[in-house]
């Protein structure tokens, strides 16, 4: 676990929903992104692997898009969980979200060998839909900005 989040929402998902390549704690080949609160913002921290290059020395954009994606659904889950009176770590099962849409603007080349930090602001746009505004930093540099629309996972999803 290369991430500094104490209480991550993904730690609370039921096992059946913990196989996501991006943020599933049971997907041992995946990124295992973990998302928690950082004051009024949400945060996900990830150290890219050596193979996650665009060109040598710079991080692959698809990895950044993946980070923004799972950070978005995790942030939506954190926000609705809090609205429902819960916090990760209290034992209540959090709601899960799916990504409806994802937008990424690549602002600057992202240096490798630095942990990436995604910071999110969550906006409720519907009782079952949240928009997450994310900025990804490598050190002091804002390298990418993203928007995710996350929708509450339908009970029928995957059935």
- For the CB of residue 96, give the shortest distance to a second copy in the complex, in Å: 9
Between 61 and 82, CB nearer to a second copy: 61
Q: Which residues contact 138 (CB under 8 A, 6 or more apart)?
A: 59, 110, 111, 114, 115, 116
Give the Cβ contact number of residue 7 at 10 Å: 15
- For the CB of residue 72, give the shortest distance to a second copy in the complex, in Å: 10
Between 41 and 53, CB nearer to a second copy: 53
Joined together, the tokens standing for residue 43 give 């945060």
- Give the CA distances from residue 4 to residues 8, 19, 105, 141, 152, in Å, rounded to whole numbers and listed in that order: 10, 21, 25, 19, 26
Between 6 and 103, CB nearer to a second copy: 103
- For the CB of residue 25, give the shortest distance to a second copy in the complex, in Å: 13
- For the CB of residue 82, give the shortest distance to a second copy in the complex, in Å: 24
Between 3 and 66, CB nearer to a second copy: 66
């Amino acid at each position: 676990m290369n991430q500094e989040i104490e209480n991550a929402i993904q730690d609370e998902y039921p096992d059946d929903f913990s196989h996501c390549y991006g943020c599933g704690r049971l997907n041992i080949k995946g990124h295992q992104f973990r998302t928690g609160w950082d004051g009024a913002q949400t945060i996900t921290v990830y150290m890219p692997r050596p193979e996650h290059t665009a060109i040598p020395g710079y991080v692959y954009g698809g990895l950044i898009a993946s980070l923004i994606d799972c950070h978005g659904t995790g942030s939506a889950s954190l926000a609705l969980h809090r609205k429902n009176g819960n916090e990760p770590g209290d034992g209540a099962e959090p709601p899960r979200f799916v990504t409806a849409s994802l937008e990424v603007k690549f602002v600057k080349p992202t240096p490798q060998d630095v942990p990436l930090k995604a910071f999110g602001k969550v906006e409720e746009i519907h009782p079952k839909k949240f928009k997450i505004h994310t900025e990804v930093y490598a050190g002091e540099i804002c390298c990418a900005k993203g928007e995710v629309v996350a929708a509450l996972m339908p009970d029928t999803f995957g059935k």
